[in-house]
Structure 1
Amino acid sequence: MQIRDVLLAPGDGAFFYDDQEAIRSGAIQDGFIYVGAPTIPGFEAIRIPASSLSVGLVLADDVVVWGDMMNVQYSGAGGRDPLFNTGQISDLMSRVVVPRLFGVDASQFRKSCAEVFESVELLRLPLAVEYGVSQALLRASAHLQRKTMAEIICAEFDLPLPMCRVPIYCQSGDAREINVDKMILKAVDVLPHGLINSRQKFGVNGQTFVEFVKWVATRTGQIGRPGYHPVLHFDVYGWIGQEIGLEPQSIADFICRVADSVPDFTLNIESPADFDSTQAQLENYAKIVSILDNRGSSARIVVDERCNTLEDIRLFAEAKAAHLVQIKTPDVGSIADTARAVLICKANKVGAYVGGSCTETDLSAQASVHISVATQADMMLAKPGMGVDEGFSIVGNEQNRLLAMLTRRRTQNENVG
């Protein structure tokens, strides 16, 4: 048996779980908390500390490899899994998942995932379980084969060893101006997210948002190093649709006006509207994308809400219902499915953004880097947390270390050849 024991350890995510429905309905911020009653089941308050659960696989040589389970910041909204409950997940792990882990060949990553993640009474395991356990299984396979996690993914999916770095995208949280400055000084590839998640931040007819976009563009020229020219990426949490209306033509018109206000930049607009179902999201996003393409706009639509699972991602990619798909790793489930999702996007000539959530951990972020680099995603999220420095350091340093190891491996292979 390659897995001799399984350890479980409760932990903390790097940010908070938020009740998105309550925030969209106008909950007022008081300092760091939101005032009012929660609306999504499971939330005891609108904002609660993120919890996680670590799973450790004790291998035959007594090495322990870990993976972390958690849900995303806006759990229970937009078709996502419900709020993470450490007690319930721990019980399910002990009853169902741990016995399965003792029976797998931990050196075979995808085969192990398939065996461990079989449905229970026709129900899929919680996606957080798939996410955390698959991280541990990937690390186990990498340890047993004496390779990096990225090399395991390349071998499993018949991919060449990657040579190029993946652009990194940082998110600002509510400390927008300070964190934008940090991103510019660190020459982040894609910025700033902006957390435009309320009417106050979006403004009447979107004017507050437009002014912020123009400020970010101006600020890059004021304090950025010569030649620095990032992609501007803003997550508006459906507020264009909320404020402007849900007509695709009107949404596209507004996005074009925003893009015209920063003509020298590529502009990504994430979650411009929420059409309340996956099918409606698919149809209307495809219309918005078509309008923008026909106009030759530099703006790109990024889908997040209503595009969660691997099958959702396949539908949006095949329908060209986005220029860029956020592959939100805890929502996808098994990290093997994140790799599959990137490859599906690339096959359909749609951008693949390996995202995730501020609620994640250092371990899940590092595993995501290996998936992103192995599959050569178009960009990846600096995570976890909302502080910029920490997530950018964790993801950036892991990528640099990985590329150094892969360069050495390639040199060794060339010398042997």
Structure 2
Amino acid sequence: MKIEDVLLAPGNGAFFYDDQAAIRGGAIQDGFTYVGEPTTLGFKSIRNPASSLSVGLVLSDETVVWGDMMNVQYSGAGGRDPLFETAQIAEFTSRVVVPRLFEVDASQFRDSCAIAFQAVEHLRLPLAVQYGVSQALLRAAAHLRHATMAEVVCAEFDLPLPAHRVPIYCQSGDARDINVDKMILKGVDVLPHGLINSRQKFGVEGQTFMHFVKWVAARTREIGHPGYQPVLHFDVYGWIGLEIGLEPQPIADFICKVADAVPGFRLNIESPADFGSTQAQIENYAKIVSILDSRGSSARIVVDERCNTLEDIRLFAEARAAHLVQIKTPDVGSLADTARAVLLCKENGVGAYVGGSCTETDLSAQASVHISVATQADMMLAKPGMGVDEAFSIVGNEQNRLLAMLNRRRVQNENVGMKSTVSHAEFS
């Protein structure tokens, strides 16, 4: 089961790479661009078109399976890898990873990842490389086993064949009002993200944000179908801490106030504050979680910044420093580690949200669906892009197709089991 050749092809991500530090610092939007100088290393402007790099594995039957490398929208922020440079990543992949790929058994996903992603001089490989190559390796194993990617994950992690869909979460981008309406009309499970990434959007003491939360709840009741009750999930990019202060008690007080403003809805608050380091984030998020739990609040804290790699996720989960962990797939790297991250969260009684970034591609989004369904994550992101229609279609349709195939496989297995039982009875 050898890989005969490796192809590389430059590509586009579905959105843009943005300099989060410059935006937090007050950069003004002019149309779709930002005015001012970038502040994060590697950025030539505050907003840059997202690039990607496709890796194609040519198998012995001449089938080519692909995966896509890219970084997340806010590259270089919160302990993440730096801005994605296609030429540099292509050179590194050709020099370091490609020779290793010729040595793997492509039918064995986890073993292939372990060989391909060995450290170089005690330094891990760029996570974007691990992410893209692991997608291709997972597709290769699925092709060679005549199975779905989800079935490969289930087999290699000793998981039962899944039967249930994973709730889908959509993000609005800056077109908040129109996109919220789209989400409600389409009956999205979790909404709307909101992109609350500036003081203007958060408002003095969070008043602008509070108004938006109330509007989303009211709009859901106004145009949603009877009985529709989505989870309300808002990413505030640390602005509760920036505006109110970095003490856990006032942050928890504010979150409870928001939850009380939308009774009847489950509320998720992502990235309420950035405490500057992974350890500080863990300690303070754990305090916020404890306060909310002691009050019996319906609000849940979701961690993103400072929780990037599999090791970070382990630390947060073991400390219960969040109710829900965003497993941001390009930041985790290998899809094998994304699967491990979901299972690790479950072991520690913490919710697992398979996220990612608007900068991703259709291929990476579809592969993420298979990991999410196989591990039965608590929710998954509709991606790529900042629109609703395309991302919801890509992820939703892939999940529905996958579940149809898994159901067929389940029926086949049951029939084989019945035949085996009958044969044994006849022999007896």
Deviations 1:90-137 (A, max 9, x none): 000111110110010000000000000001111100000000000000
2:143 corresponds in structure 1 to 143
2:24 corresponds in structure 1 to 24
1:325 corresponds in structure 2 to 325
Deviations 1:184-208 (A, max 9, x none): 0000000000000000000000000
1:378 corresponds in structure 2 to 378
1:259 aligns with 2:256: no
CA RMSD of aligned residues (A): 0.4
Counterpart of 2:383 in 1: which secondary structure? coil
CA distance in 2, matches of 1:269, 1:93: 37
Deviations 1:355-406 (A, max 9, x none): 0000000000000000000000000000000011000000000000000000
Counterpart of 1:360 in 2: which secondary structure? coil
1:237 corresponds in structure 2 to 237
CA distance in 2, matches of 1:211, 1:336: 41
1:398 corresponds in structure 2 to 398
1:7 corresponds in structure 2 to 7
2:120 corresponds in structure 1 to 120
1:360 aligns with 2:360: yes
1:274 corresponds in structure 2 to 274
1:316 aligns with 2:316: yes
CA distance in 1, matches of 2:35, 2:185: 35
Counterpart of 2:68 in 1: which secondary structure? strand
2:425 corresponds in structure 1 to none
Distance apart, 1:214 and its partner CA: 0.3
Distance apart, 1:247 and its partner CA: 0.4
Q: Letter of the aligned partner of 1:367 in structure 2?
A: A
Distance apart, 1:263 and its partner CA: 1.1
1:153 aligns with 2:138: no
Distance apart, 1:2 and its partner CA: 1.6
Q: Letter of the aligned partner of 2:352 in structure 1?
A: A
2:207 corresponds in structure 1 to 207
Counterpart of 2:55 in 1: which secondary structure? strand
1:87-102 alignment runs, 5 A limit: 87-102=87-102
Counterpart of 1:301 in 2: which secondary structure? strand
CA distance in 2, matches of 1:299, 1:60: 52
Distance apart, 1:12 and its partner CA: 0.1
CA distance in 1, matches of 2:48, 2:92: 23
CA distance in 2, matches of 1:2, 1:318: 39
CA distance in 1, matches of 2:330, 2:93: 17
1:106 aligns with 2:114: no
CA distance in 2, matches of 1:41, 1:301: 30
Give structure 1 stretches of 5+ with no counterpart: none
Counterpart of 2:22 in 1: which secondary structure? helix
Counterpart of 2:325 in 1: which secondary structure? strand
Deviations 1:150-200 (A, max 9, x none): 000000000000000000000000000000000000000000000000000
CA distance in 2, matches of 1:256, 1:122: 45
CA distance in 1, matches of 2:335, 2:415: 33
Q: Letter of the aligned partner of 1:2 in structure 2?
A: K
CA distance in 2, matches of 1:256, 1:359: 32
CA distance in 1, matches of 2:120, 2:320: 34
Q: Letter of the aligned partner of 2:321 in structure 1?
A: A
- Percent identity reads 85
1:351 corresponds in structure 2 to 351
Counterpart of 2:312 in 1: which secondary structure? helix
Larger radius of gyration: 2
1:72 corresponds in structure 2 to 72
CA distance in 2, matches of 1:401, 1:93: 32
Distance apart, 1:229 and its partner CA: 0.5
1:167 corresponds in structure 2 to 167
1:134 corresponds in structure 2 to 134
CA distance in 1, matches of 2:216, 2:264: 12
Deviations 1:76-96 (A, max 9, x none): 000000000000000001111
1:45 aligns with 2:62: no
Distance apart, 1:149 and its partner CA: 0.1
Counterpart of 1:217 in 2: which secondary structure? helix
1:334 aligns with 2:352: no
CA distance in 2, matches of 1:2, 1:398: 28
CA distance in 2, matches of 1:295, 1:359: 38
Counterpart of 2:43 in 1: which secondary structure? coil
Counterpart of 1:57 in 2: which secondary structure? strand
Normalising by structure 2, we get a TM-score of: 0.97
